[in-house]
Structure 1
Amino acid sequence: MGNSSDFSAGGGHNLFDPDNKISGWGLNNDGQIGDGSTYHCSQPQTAVLEDGSIYYRLGGSNRIETANMVSLERWNYGANAVVLARDDDFPDALTGAPLAKAVDAPILLTNKEKLTPETKSEIERLNPVVIYILGSTGAVSDQIEKELTVNYKVIRLGGNDRYETSANIAKYLDWNKLNTKGQAIIAYGGNFPDALAVSSVAAFQKIPILVKQSHVKIGKSGKKQLLLGMMRYTMDINDTNIFSFEYAMKINLSF
């Protein structure tokens, strides 16, 4: 099959080669992004985007349904792992993106006190071996953990706050050799845009995201993580700018 490096699941039968060219083992009237009427062929055909190609939205009536629809689209045959985060705040789900990528898991959302029925149904469909709960019992309740423990292995990665949770996720990735060694991304934890903007890159490159309390001072847990010697260099996402290693090292890391 030549230099193809990966296959995509689902309709379209696309191939991605090292030159970032997309080819496919199926051909339909609108190319690989079309109406789904696929005819098989013996050789790869270059993907074509023509008028009439169909785009579709992955969205539900709320954030929980949207997460479930993304899960169904990508993990339509189930998943070995699920990452579970609260539905009413952003930090844990964002800093959990590299973990989700590393273990090939969807990120699902739930009410923090009681497991949301729609999320429970999606977990049952996925039938995972392990569920990673992000955050302390204040973020996802002990009741939810106990309910899930009946049928699944549950690993909670949490801390006293969002900063400690992000550090503990990074530690888990490092201990289990699921990260790109020696790298970290530091983002402001008081709002979501910076961490959101970098989350897909961090996940793809297996780089943990540490959130800090302000633009000039890293949280204590972040300092501890840096002092573990895990990172050789960092990228600081600060007002959409990426700063150098030298700048990052000048950040006030005092307790």
Structure 2
Amino acid sequence: MEGGPRTVKPRRHRVAVCALALIALAALLGAPGNASAITRDAVLDRGKVWVDRFVPYSNSGWANEAGDIVANSSLGWRRDCSGFASYCLNLRYANGTPLSYHSGTIDAVLTPITKEQLRPGDIINRPNDAGYAYGHSIVFVNWANEEHTEYWSYEQSSSRGGTCTRLVVYPFWGEPGFAPYRYNRIEEDYEPWCEPIEGANRYETAVAASRASFPETGSADTAIVCSGLTWPDALGGAGLAGAVDGPVLLTDPRELPGCVAEELARLGVTRAVIVGGERAVSSRVASALAEAGVAQVDRIGGADRYETAARVAEAAAFELMARGESSDGTAYLASGENFPDALAASPAARFFGRPVLLTRASALPSATADALESLSTTRVLVLGAAGAVSSHVASAAGEGRVMGRLAGLDRYATSIIVARHATAEGMSWAGLGVAAGGSYCDALAGGSAQGKIGSPLLLTPGTALAGVTAREITAHAEEIGRAHCYGGPKTLTTGVRLGIATCLGM
């Protein structure tokens, strides 16, 4: 972008709330409040107010939102560089009073980014406590040339005597230690590339996935209800959800969350199928479902996770038959001792009407072997490497059948292999789902939702986008268009979402 500074109009999106880190000043002024979401327009509009007023520089004075000098820090932000950056981001304490970070502490609310990712309203910062002669915080306005060697800034400058617009050589006149950052609560960063499907907790996230899959009131008469605290019984839930064309909802084992009861009412659910025994989902929850207006409450459970998965698969086959449909004879076989591989296959299980059966690593359970027979399985696809499902088990399951293995070096790579398999057989990369692979709950509901739209689910560490995942998203960016991100910022962090958006062309 060339010429003088100008504001780029952003797109907006919903962002979940995340807490500001505690800082030393909190002892005097009270704890920081919840960080407020803010658009890039608003960051630059606020900055321009002080720039137009030429608010005089002071590291011991303050100014309010209008740029008027005020008596103390409870009325305004500090009139130095980091105080100005804090003002532009509208940082405040829990009681609503202005919060002014220093250049050495403002990174508590920022995420490091690259030069290529810089956008209007981002921050360029050098901390004042890292051995440099001084710290400095700058608000990035826009690039001043096509080479991206110079940019326009808003800053509170001691050398200029006040708040100003300045043309700066990137990152700051050759000085070391300056780096670009992004405020954690910038609203519009990911909306064009990542649709957040999230709630305040796992139960609300599952409800959000249900709403994304079934947006119309009264659009699902059957729902699958699984434990939100234990995963073994729930792994086959997506296939059953596909067979009944309903959502997967999560519950506390002891009581039905209010948000789930409300979603059942919105959907018009008349039948709920609980997956798992009473240790997974208590009879109290079953009673609460009936009290919430669900006319029929069924339960599918077995003596262990393997028998439960087998019974769920057989129930799904029965439901498909009742609709005049059937499976294509393919079954997925995954470890019952860990969850990631089974979750990666859940979109395909729903979309194709295929069962997910579980096994021990070293021995094929009799319940699983029996289910392979009763389901007339002609092809077995083993999920995960030999450490998850041994060659001996794979051979036993595949005897007399076509047998294959979908495996990568780890759970993240395996989810990619499964996604490639699913898209090769008829699913689409459009609207790809991404969930944290370190926990099961968001991927459990997300896998079912992805199967509903016919798109796979990739897993990644929740704190940093896996390199293999980033490369796969980049390779299919044009087909993906906009990804679905399952889980709130505690499970799928800002850095991960930024990485996904960057891979998709942000």
Structure 1 residue 91 displacement after superposition: 0.6
Paired with 1:81 and 1:174, the residues of 2 have a C-alpha distance of 15
Partner of residue 415 from structure 2, selected from 166, 186, 190: 166
State the AA in 2 paired with 1:222: T
Q: Deviations over 1:17-56 (max 9, x none)?
A: xx8486xxxxxxxxx97xxxxxxxxxxxxxxx9x995422
- Deviation track 1:87-110 (CA, whole Å, cap 9, x = no partner) reads 011111111101212321111111
1:121-200 pair list within 5 angstroms: 121-179=370-428, 181-200=429-448
Relative distance call for 1:65 and 1:246 in structure 2 (3 A) is closer
Alignment root-mean-square deviation, CA:
3.2
Q: 2:346 aligns with which of 82, 90, 97?
A: 97
Q: Is the 8 A contact 2:416 2:472 kept in 1?
A: yes
Q: Which moved more, 1:236-245 or 1:98-107?
A: 236-245
Distance in 1 separating the partners of 2:294 and 2:357: 33
Q: Which residue of 1 aligns with 2:367?
A: 118
Task: Name the CA distance, whole Å, in 1 between partners of 2:294 and 2:498.
Answer: 49
Aligned equivalents of 1:184, 1:148: Cα separation in 2 = 31
Q: Distance in 2 between matches of 1:190 and 1:246?
A: 16
Mapping for residues 1-255 of structure 1, pairs under 5 Å: 20=219, 53-76=295-318, 79=327, 80-179=329-428, 181-215=429-463, 217-229=464-476, 230-239=479-488, 247=498, 249-250=500-501
Structure 2 Cα separation of the partners of residues 132 and 190 of structure 1: 23
- 1:168-195 per-residue CA deviation (whole Å, 9 max, x = no partner) reads 111112223323x332111111111221
Identity of aligned residues (%): 25
Shift of the 154–194 alpha-carbon distance from structure 1 to 2, 3 Å rule, reads: same
Q: Distance in 2 between matches of 1:190 and 1:93?
A: 13
Give the CA deviation at 1:127.
1.4
Alpha carbons 2:485, 2:497 under 8 Å: kept: no
CA shift, 1:136, in A, is 1.0
CA distance in 1, matches of 2:376, 2:497: 46
Conserved in 1, the CA contact under 8 Å of 2:435 and 2:459?
yes
What's 1:26 paired with?
Answer: none
SS state at 2:298 partner: coil
Shift of 1:250: 4.8
**d(CA) in 1 for partners of 2:386, 2:314:** 27
* CA displacement at 1:119 relative to structure 2: 0.5
| Contact 2:347 2:447 (C-alpha < 8 Å) held by counterparts | yes
Find the aligned partners of 2:219 and 2:445 in 1 and give their Cα distance: 22
* Structure 1: 5+ residue stretches without partners: 1-18, 23-31, 34-48
Q: Cα offset for 1:160?
A: 0.9
CA gap of 1:232–1:61, structure 2 versus 1, over 3 A, is same
Q: CA, structure 1 residues 90+227, in 2 after alignment: closer, same or farther (shift >3 Å)?
A: same
Give how far 1:246 is off: 7.7
- Render the CA deviation track for 1:181-213: whole Å, top value 9, x for unaligned: 332111111111221231221121122111112
Contact 2:350 2:448 in 1 (8 A): no
Asked whether the 8 Å contact 1:81–1:131 carries over to 2, the reply is yes
Distance 1:194 1:228, change over 3 A: same
Residues 1:194 and 1:238: Cα distance change in structure 2 (over 3 Å): same
TM-score under structure 1 length normalisation: 0.71
In the alignment of these two chains, the number of paired residues is: 210
Distance 2:435 2:487 in 1: 7
> With structure 2 as the length reference, what TM-score do the two structures score?
0.38
Q: What amino acid maps onto 2:313 in structure 1? A: S
Distance change (3 Å), C-alpha of 1:130 and 1:243: same
Deviation at 1:84, TM superposition (A): 1.0
Corresponding position of 2:183: none
Query: CA separation of 1:63/1:240 partners in 2, compared to 1, >3 Å: closer, same or farther?
Result: farther
Structure number with bigger Rg: 2
Q: Indicate if the aligned counterparts of 2:465 and 2:500 stay in contact, CA closer than 8 A.
A: no
Structure with more strand by fraction: 1
Indicate if the aligned counterparts of 2:419 and 2:456 stay in contact, CA closer than 8 A: yes
The answer to whether the Cα contact below 8 Å between 1:236 and 1:248 also exists between their aligned partners in 2 is no
Give the superposition deviation at 1:134: 0.8
Q: Which residue of 2 aligns with 1:25?
A: none
Contact 2:384 2:407 in 1 (8 A): yes
